[in-house]
Structure 1
Amino acid sequence: MNHSLESTLEFIQSCETPWSRDTSPPWGIHDVDPPPYNRLYGPVHGRGPVSGVLFHQHRLLAQWGEPHKADLTFSVAKTYLALLAGLAFDQGLLKDVHTPVVQQCPGIGFEGDRLSRITWHHLLQQTSEWEGTCLSIPEQVDRYRWLPYQTGQAEGTKGDSRPLGEPGSRFEYNDVRINQLSLALLHLFKRPLPEVFEEFIRQPLGCSDTFQWVGYEQGWSQVNGQRMMSVPGGSHWGGGVSISAMDQARIGLMLMGQGHYKGQQILSQQWLHMMQQACEVAPYYGYLIWLNRDGALFKDAPRSSWFAIGAGSSITWVDPELELVCIMRWIDAAKTNDCIARVMQSLKT
């Protein structure tokens, strides 16, 4: 390992999140929600140390911390929902992303004049403006939500009511609407999503570390006459995906390869291309991934880079042009760009 890379890893490990390691405060993001929704509905577990994996040009350059520990990954699970939507697309279950969701998933909350115009495309770009309650939580708790990765600034206070617009008119990062997408995908596959993810993504990639995708106590749903758990697309209120950094890196290598991994096409190139198209009203966002086209997201990352980002902070950094996959877990979100800058510097030496 070169000296520059060694100092980079030391720097990343010095950027540990302020979150506790045992889920005692400060920990998580549910506590900023308006009551009574500022609580956990699904199980959580303590975290490991700052951990990660770095691949460059298909070579494992470095691993640090506990790369095989299954840790909660928060909103990286959203990107995994986009991969499941890609499987549905490739398998012919989802023929056109511009189809209104209600046509394929009636009776789960897409009825009505405005809601019936919401398409899969809107849900995947977080521009649906869906209105309702999913898994007993109303989407209003995430209205006016604003992340530091967005440009501009919030126009109101999180959880306040606001008039909802036409589907596609506004980007709003909203976990309840994501959970509604997850419910729709469950009805599309008619199989528990963790099973589908395991069979068609994790197993072909050779992922072997412990993995779980857990729901809320109120997540049981009737699908095709069977009782199935509808899992959340994150750990905002607990539950969600626990996965190792090494297995995340394998998923990242597949994404870097435009869906191709070690002789297998896991997802179609067409879907990977669709995922990376910039949202018209939020050019820093694709299909449940963050884009860096103008450098607004992370100024020291290449413009060809894109990211899956979870609270805590969990980063999956993919750059097909650089042939780079970097997983960083439990770093201070405010120092993400500094960590990226150090990785870029070490690759040049």
Structure 2
Amino acid sequence: MTDRASMLRFASSAMFAASLAGCGSAPPAAPPSLSEEALQAVMPDAGAPRDQLAREIDELFTQDELGETRAIVLMSDGELAAERYSEGYDQDTRFVSWSMAKTVTAVLVGMLVADGKLTVGDPAPVPMWQRPGDPRAEITLRHLLQMRSGLRHTEAGDPPYDSSEVRMLFLDGRDDMARWAKEQPLEAEPGEQFEYSSNTTVILADIAARALTNSSDPETRRTVVDEFLKERLFEPLGMDSMVLEYDASGTLIGGSLMHATARDWAKFGEFLRRSGRSPEGEQLVPSRWIDAMITPSPASGFYGYQTWLNRESGIDRDKDVADRGPETMFAAIGHMGQYVLISPDQRITLVRLGHSNRTERFKMLAELFDIADLYPMR
């Protein structure tokens, strides 16, 4: 049989099967009724079809293959559109950031750049790198912000205790994390390759502390950074729940350990969506800094300044959720499925907090995109 004849036979069979399916077949089953809890999670004026939005959110809490969702907060056009918590959690629960903290640290650095205390294109102000003949002197602040310093920082190890992150946080680097991270040698030319690294963000946090105070006293360093962020960022945004963690040397653990309620994480996302403005319109960090945070770096089209972008391999995706959502979407992402998804063109911020392993996380993220898809581009 020729290829053409085969194609015609296949097409005829398909049409015949379709006609049979249309004759006397039962209509598709109606979806199950939504619980009162699911309906109450969505505000009356949510900016999307209420029942459909309630169902998508309900699946995050009821489908085991997505992991454990503990909190969802959705903002639409600056207003609360949906909010739901699993048992044992509520609007007063502080959730750990994990790596969502990196994006907060990028804002801290941006404020110091705006104040004239730091310059992104200059060599990073790390004294131990400025010794004659040290190739790390070529590392700029921008390289650190874009995770392309070239330092030997391995985020994940096998076994886990071989990773730079684990060694810094829990083993030989734990008392002075920034010093341990800065002591690592180069494994690539500064600026040439992307390597995601919590160690790098702790170096940024140390640079920020040094820009604010000359003191090496741990308590002074903690107090100065805490008060700066509180006065310049958290209070104007109403993020009253934020608690920051520091190491024994007084360095902010800016890559992984900040704690806040789901609502406050949503406030931070909204601040980024508004290009650095408070709800009252005060410009807390220059809009050009937010633009830089969400501009792809030369070494990674999916990453800006400590912020994930909605490009291929970005926003923690795999092939099953590729090409979802607008290209202008970006995110703060944390270990085990912490997300602050921001979509300026849809005017939404979506916070999901919980616990999902790698397999669950990809499926769960597809569900988050299903929620975002309910909102049109504006």
TM-score higher than 0.5 here? yes
Stretches of 4+ aligned residues off by more than 6 angstroms: none
Q: Which moved more, 1:68-77 or 1:8-17?
A: 8-17
Equivalent residues of 1:52, 1:67 under 8 A apart:
no
Give deviations 1:4-52, integer Å, cap 9, x for gaps.
0110110122357758xxxxxxxxxxxxxxxxxxxxxxxxxxxxx6102
Gaps of 5+ in 1: 20-48, 133-138, 144-160, 221-228
Q: CA deviation at 1:294?
A: 5.0
1:169 aligned to 178, 192, 203, which one?
192
Aligned equivalent of 2:303: 285
What's the secondary structure of 2:163's corresponding residue?
helix
Structure 1 residue 344 corresponds to structure 2 residue 372: yes
Checking the alignment, whether the CA contact within 8 Å between 2:199 and 2:255 is kept in structure 1 is no
Picking from 230, 233, 249, the partner of 1:201 is 233
- What's the Cα RMSD here? 2.6
The share of aligned pairs that are identical, in percent, is: 23
> CA contact under 8 A between 2:73 and 2:262: conserved in structure 1?
yes
- Please identify which structure carries the higher helix content: 2
The 10-residue stretch of structure 1 (63-72 or 74-83) with the greater mean CA deviation from structure 2:
63-72
Quick check: 1:9 aligned with 2:57? yes
What SS class does the counterpart of residue 333 from structure 2 fall into? strand
- Asked if the contact 1:101/1:110 (under 8 Å) is kept, the reply is no
Counterpart AA for 2:59: F
Which of 155, 163, 168 is the aligned partner of 1:141?
Answer: 163
Residues 1:264 and 2:282 are matched in the alignment: yes
Offset from partner CA, 1:258-314 (integer Å, 9 cap, x none): 111222111111111111110111110000001114585453222110011000211
> What is the alpha-carbon distance in structure 1 between the residues aligned to residue 103 and residue 288 of structure 2?
16
Larger radius of gyration: 2
Map Cα deviations across residues 210-239 of structure 1 (whole Å, 9 max, x no partner).
3211123xx31xxxxxxxx1021234xxxx
How many corresponding residue pairs?
A: 278
Q: 1:202 to 1:296 in 2, by over 3 A?
A: closer
TM-score normalised per structure 1: 0.73
Q: SS where residue 127 of structure 2 aligns? A: coil
> Per the alignment, do residues 252 and 166 of structure 1 end up closer, same or farther by CA in structure 2, a change over 3 Å counting?
same
Q: Give 1:199 shift.
A: 1.4
| 1:325 counterpart residue number | 349
Alpha-carbon deviation of 1:331?
A: 4.8
* Bigger RCO of structures 1 and 2 (CA < 8 A, at least 6 apart): 1
Q: Secondary structure at the match of 1:50?
A: strand
One of 96, 101, 105 as aligned partner of 2:124: 101
- Paired residue type of 1:11: E
Aligned partner letter, 1:61: A
CA distance in 1, matches of 2:147, 2:233: 23
Shift of 1:195: 2.6
Compute the displacement of 1:174 (Å).
1.6
Unaligned runs of 5+ in 2: 1-41, 43-49, 154-160, 166-183, 214-220
> Following the alignment from structure 2 to structure 1, what is the Cα–Cα distance between the partners of residues 233 and 245?
17
Query: CA contact under 8 A between 2:232 and 2:284: conserved in structure 1?
Result: yes
Query: Of residues 134, 144, 148 in structure 2, which corresponds to 1:127?
Result: 148
Could you say which residue in structure 2 is the equivalent of 1:244? 261
Q: Relative to structure 2, which stretch is displaced further, 79-88 or 328-337?
A: 328-337
Rounded Cα–Cα distance in structure 2 between residues aligned with 1:162 and 1:123: 14
Contact 1:142 1:173 in 2 (8 A): no
Alignment of 1:107-118 (within 5 A): 107=128, 109=129, 111=131, 112-118=133-139
Distance of aligned partners of 1:323 and 1:110 in 2 relative to their CA distance in 1, 3 Å threshold: farther
Partner amino acid for 1:233? Answer: G
Asked if the contact 2:294–2:304 (Cα under 8 Å) also holds between the matched residues in 1, the reply is yes
Instruction: Give CA-to-partner distance per residue, 1:91-122, whole Å, 9 cap, x none.
Output: 1111x3010013xx424x55452111111100
Contact 1:53 1:67 in 2 (8 A): no
The one-letter code sitting in structure 2 at the alignment partner of 1:141 is S
